[in-house]
Amino acid sequence: MVRMYKKGAQAERELIKLLKGKGFDPTRAAGSKGLMDIVALHEGKAYVFQVKYTKYDTIRIRRKEICKLVDLYYRHNPNPDKETTAVYLAVKFRRHGWRFYPVIKLWSLLSGVFDTFELKPKDGLPLDGLLNWLNHQISS
């Protein structure tokens, strides 16, 4: 368990460096073991990241965790027409690198009956894809 915590903390620090290099102002909630591992500010908007690391080609996420992230998103975005806080599940796959899953898109998984959901790298956005998507959101 301690080893996985170290891998997760290492992934958080790596993501902090990547975000800083892309113009974000990130901070890590070290030892939080809560919903928000990293909070970053960029162009007047807040970005919240729940960070995971896996050595496998897929990762399983519990329904309860997705529900909490979706709840966090809606608590900080009371006006659906103007998103002020974006919430992401950020997964570092050992063989595939970083993938980002917008929580608002994970929300659709909750309509099923399963207790856990399997996420694959192809279902997430790579870092550059995330940045392109964010730029599109900001300019719209």
Closest CA to 29 of 43, 8, 45: 8
Strands (E) in the chain, as ranges, are 25-28, 38-42, 45-54, 59-62, 85-93, 97-102, 116-119
Catalytic site includes residue 140 = no
Instruction: Choose the catalytic residue: 32, 108, 139, 140.
Output: 32
Neighbours of 123 (CB within 10 A): 13
Please report, as a single letter, which amino acid is at residue 9.
A
DSSP, collapsed to helix, strand or coil, labels residue 120 as: coil
Q: How far apart (Å, rounded) are the C-alpha atoms in residues 53 and 106?
A: 18
Which residues are marked as active site? 32
